[in-house]
A = this chain, B = another copy of it.
Amino acid sequence: MQKIRSAPLALALSAMSLSTPAMAAPPDVAGLQEKAMADEIAWDFVSDLTTEVGPRPAGTADEARGRDWAVARLKALGFANVRAEPYIMPTWVRGAETAKVVAPFPQTLIVTALGNSGATPANGLEAEVVYFPTIADLEAAAPDRLKGKIAFVSHAMKATQDGSSYGYFGIVRRQGPSIAAKKGAAAILIRSIGTDNHRTPHTGVQMWAEGVTPIPAAALSVPDAENLERMLRKAQMKGGKPVRVALTLTPRFIGDQASGNVIAEVPGTDPAAGIIVAACHLDSWDLGTGAIDDGAGCAIASAAARLVMKNERPRRTIRLLLAGSEEVGGFGARAYFAAHKEERHVLALESDFGADRVWRVDFKFPAAGAPLAARIADALAPLGIGKGSQPAGGGADIAPLVAAGVPVIDLQQDGTRYFDLHHTADDTLDKIDPAQLRQNVAAWATVLALAANADEQLR
C-alpha cells in the first residue's frame, strides 16, 4: 500500500528530476541519470545504423553489414571483447507483392507477404475472397467454404500502453495461415496486426504447422482491409456478387545462410560475480530501416552500458548481446544460449519495444534479490517509472536464459504508438523521440549500475 500512497510524490519528483535527480538516489546513479539525460550516443547509434546500413533482414548480406557496423561502433565506443559470433539459418526472402480486387469493384490493394509465406505462380492467382471477422470464425469454418478460395481474416486490435493485446490479436498472423492452409485455402490475407491507419502493411513471422503445405500469406494495410470489408458488405447488398482478388506473391527460401550475434563487454572487477546480459536484436524486417524495432533497443543498451563503464568499472561483467535473426524465430537467442549456457549468468534484460519512455519496471528475482529490486525501483522513480506487480518476462533474445532460470528485469516501454509502426516501412528514424530515447538510457544505466555493483546473490 505504501507504494500506491507514495505514487503522486514519485510522479511529482519525476517531473522535476529530468534535470535534478532525486536526492534519495545513490550519488553515482544521480550522476548517471544526469549524464544520460544529455546522452547523444544512443541517438547517433540508431541514426547511423539506419542511415548507413538500413534494413537488416535475417540471413542476408544486409544483416551481415549490420554486424560489421555494430562491431566497429562498439569497438569505437570502447567496449571489450567485441566480436561477431556466427551461425547459419534457413533464410526466406521477399519477392514481388501485388494485389487487386478484380470484381465487382476493381481497385489496387496494398499487401505485404508474411514471413515464410508460400508463393503464388509468377503471374499470380485469382480467387474469390471469403471473409472471417475473427480467427475463431476462420477456425469454425467448414473446409468446403475455403477450398480454392482466399481467406480474409480481420480483427479488432487497438493500441494499449503495455502492448498486451499483441499476444491475443497476433494469433491471426501467427496461426491464421496454417489454419487456412489446412482447410484448402488458395491463399490468406489478414488485416495487418497494427493500430495505425496508413497504407503501410505490417509483416511479421508465422510458422507453418507440422504437415501443412505453405500457401501465399499476406497482410493488407489497415485502410485496405477496411476497404475490402466495405466491398464485401456492398457486394452482399448487391445480390451476393463474389469479390474476386488477384494476388501475386513471389517470396522464396534461399537455403541456409550466415547470420550471427554481436557481443561486447564491460568486464567486471570480480569474474566470479557473474554476467549481466543486456540484450536487443540487430536484425530487422526488410520494409523499414529497423529504427524502433530494434535499432533503438541496441542503441539504448549500448549507450547505457557505456555510461556505466565510463563512470566506474563495475563488479559484475555487463555483456551486450545484439542478437541476430530475432524476427524470424530467435535463431540468435538459441545460438547464444548454446554457446554460453555454462557461463554464470546472474541477470538478463532486453530492450525490444521501441524508443518511447519506460513507464514501469518488473522483476523476476529470487527472494534474496528483494533489497536490490527495491533499490532499483526507488532509483527509477524520479524518471517517472513505477514498480509493477507482475513478474518480469524478458524478451525473445533472452528467452532461453530466462527459461533456464536466469533472473530478469523488464523496463517496460510505452507501447501506445508501437503497433502503429511495428514491422512496417514506417519503422524509420524520424519516429524516435530523442527525449524519450534518453529517458530509456537513464533507466537502463540506473539498472545496470545498481545490479552490476549489488552485493545480493541473484543466483
Contact = CB atoms under 8 A, between A and B. Distances in A.
Nearest to A107: B54
Interface of A: 47-48, 50-55, 62, 65, 105-108, 110, 197-200, 222-223, 226-227, 230-231, 234, 288-289, 424-426, 428-431
A202 to B, nearest CB: 13
Query: What's the number of copies of this chain in the assembled complex?
Result: 2
Contacts of A431: 197
Contacts of A234: 48, 51-52
A430 B55 contact: no
Contact of A199 (B106, B226, B425): B425
A125 B222 CA distance: 34
A428 B55 CA distance: 28
26 contacts: A47-B230, A51-B105, A51-B227, A51-B230, A51-B231, A52-B105, A53-B107, A54-B105, A54-B227, A55-B108, A110-B425, A198-B198, A199-B200, A199-B288, A199-B424, A199-B425, A199-B426, A199-B428, A222-B430, A223-B426, A223-B428, A223-B429, A223-B430, A227-B428, A227-B429, A230-B429
A162 B430 CA distance: 25
Contacts of A199: 200, 288, 424-426, 428
A424 B426 CA distance: 14
Contacts of A108: 54-55
A288 B425 CA distance: 17
Contact of A197 (B106, B227, B430): B430
A105 B53 contact: yes
A304 B355 CA distance: 46
A234 B234 CA distance: 52
A289 B197 CA distance: 14
A429 B226 contact: yes
A111 to B, nearest CB: 12
Contact of A198 (B52, B200, B222): B200
A289 B105 contact: no
A226 B431 CA distance: 12
